Structure 1
Amino acid sequence: MSVTAEEASRAGFLARPEKRKQALPSAGQRRLLHVGLGIAGLVVILLAWWISTDLLASERSFARRFSPIAALPTLFDLVRGPDLWLHILVSLKRVLIGLGIALVVGVPVGLLVGASKLAEAATTPAFQFLRMISPLSWMPVAVMVFGVGDVPIYFLLGFAAIWPILLNTAAGVRQLDPHWLLLARSLAATGWETLTRVIVPGVLGHVLTGLRLAIGITWIVLVPCEMLGVQAGLGYFILDTRDRLAYPELMATVIAIGVIGYGLDFAARVIVQRYAPGKA
């Protein structure tokens, strides 16, 4: 049975998509590729750090004291001891309290601003003005008002975290499908039922996105806030290592801050993907 050239070319054309589809990497392969690229990026940073402190810097340079050759073994020693973990737990407690304050204040205010045009008009200029003020600029005021201790840190972290939560919550309310509210009204739902069954589930993705942004902001603001005279925390530990001239411990603490911050963001991203797919 003979096959014409046209039929052969048509059969080849139809077979190409299957070959192309088979040539595409699977989800597991793409995931491994992303992980490999991420590790490669970290290796590049480590090499750049080592080159700048051990190769480019002169032998008498102060930069050699921050070499990764000394910092990484010191980090492993600190991880095996109790001191670093104590400071980590204290810092995490402060971050959680600051985020809790931001959630308790930011979500209700965001719901109000998003639901009321009058509230939005009255608060938007003030909120945008306050949002653009660095939380660190309030440090002297917080110490004078609240004294030295954890309370001014809670205030500064809450002030830093409230804006992404509040603004994302308000944006989520504005993007709610009005048909949902009409349906709730037609079913004679009470105001509380509408809030808990329609509005809150509808804005949950925006709230979680704002929470993820707030986690990153509070973790960045935390370290300078813990230099306000407290006796524990990662920021205090950095000052302590500087005063003791323990520069490998200082760099090891900086690495630990980066690792923990990455872990917090990763956990927040997983939560967003779990409860609000497409928002992460």
Structure 2
Amino acid sequence: MKGSRGLLPLVALLAGWQLMGDPASIALPPPAEWFRSLAELHADGELVAALAETLSTYVLGLALAVITGALTGAAIGSSRHLDRALTPSLDFVATVPGAALVPVAVLLLGTGRLTGVLTVAFAVVWPILLNAVTATRAIPAVRLETARTLGFSRVERWRKFVLPSLTPAIVLGTRVASSIAMIVALLADIFGTGHGIGRLLVERQQNLDAPAVWGLLLLVGTFGHLTAAVLARVEAHLLRDWQRSDQ
């Protein structure tokens, strides 16, 4: 409900824009024109194809980042030697903006879907990895020692004690990474790794098709908002469960 109320200023802005906007404007057409352009793109099949390509790059890259970041972060956090040796370098690499990686990735790997997926994964893995490192460090040593004394195998200790403790941190890192992942996926399209929404945006901008550009931006923003809202709810639910189990 609070999130819905927070959208009221945006809704009011769009309503005012619709009332006062000029349908003939080449830069600021009213929202009704955006939806008309989106409907035309959908009828032509361009919108569905572009959306599917961008979303597949986004989902595959984010999934690869979650798996890699969680496992690597847990391994680093559970080893003092790895922690001391790698964390300073990881902190440095994590400060590099994801957008800056796209042209470098295209230069090294060429164009194509795989380049987009790997670029998204590398750009967004850091908040997940560093959160996993911190969460692993925070697991009380006595808990793992008790599990070892009770005869739990290494795999059982990880499954029953380590991974449940990491889940809230990984979900938080994923929520942070999700918005970055969409930006990088769009930039990857623009730099030629695919024919997704980013490429469609550039083509429509070059054709001075302002309604389509605004409509595509609204579509991307809506997806980002819904994704963030879902992940925030998942994070809150997991955090409540984790706090209850930790008591």
2:89 to 126, 133, 138: 126
1:103 counterpart residue number: 66
1:170 counterpart residue number: 133
What TM-score do you get using the length of structure 1 for normalisation?
Answer: 0.77
* C-alpha spacing 1:36/1:106, structure 2 compared with 1 (3 Å): closer
What TM-score do you get using the length of structure 2 for normalisation?
Answer: 0.86
The answer to whether structure 1 residue 43 and structure 2 residue 6 are counterparts is no
Q: Is the 8 A contact 1:223 1:234 kept in 2?
A: yes
Which contiguous aligned blocks of 4+ residues in structure 1 show a shift greater than 6 angstroms? none
1:3 counterpart residue number: none
The answer to whether structure 1 residue 213 and structure 2 residue 181 are counterparts is no
Distance in 1 (CA, whole Å) between partners of 2:27 and 2:241 is 44
Letter in structure 2 aligned against 1:147: G
- Structure 1 residue 140, shift from structure 2 partner: 2.8
Deviations 1:26-71 (A, max 9, x none): xxxxx4xx365234222233257569x848xxx997533x443422
Structure 2: unaligned runs, 5 residues or longer: 243-247
2:234 counterpart residue number: 271
Q: Could you say what the CA RMSD is over the residues aligned between the two structures, in angstroms?
A: 2.6
* C-alpha spacing 1:69/1:103, structure 2 compared with 1 (3 Å): closer
- Is the deviation greater in 228-237 or in 68-77? 68-77
- Structure 1 residue 205, shift from structure 2 partner: 1.1
Letter in structure 1 aligned against 2:14: L
Give the number of aligned pairs: 242
1:63 counterpart residue number: 27
Alignment of 1:1-280 (within 5 A): 31=1, 34=2, 37-47=5-15, 54=21, 63-64=27-28, 66-78=29-41, 82-277=45-240
Distance in 1 (CA, whole Å) between partners of 2:61 and 2:231 is 16
SS of equivalent to 2:190: coil
* C-alpha spacing 1:278/1:219, structure 2 compared with 1 (3 Å): farther
Deviations 1:207-257 (A, max 9, x none): 111111111110122211211224521101101212322221111111110
Distance in 1 (CA, whole Å) between partners of 2:81 and 2:136 is 15
Distance in 2 (CA, whole Å) between partners of 1:71 and 1:84 is 13
Structure 1: unaligned runs, 5 residues or longer: 1-30
Q: Which structure has more RCO (C-alpha within 8 Å, separation ≥ 6)?
A: 2
2:245 counterpart residue number: none
Q: Is the 8 A contact 2:103 2:191 kept in 1?
A: no
* C-alpha spacing 1:136/1:179, structure 2 compared with 1 (3 Å): same
Q: Is the 8 A contact 1:88 1:234 kept in 2?
A: yes
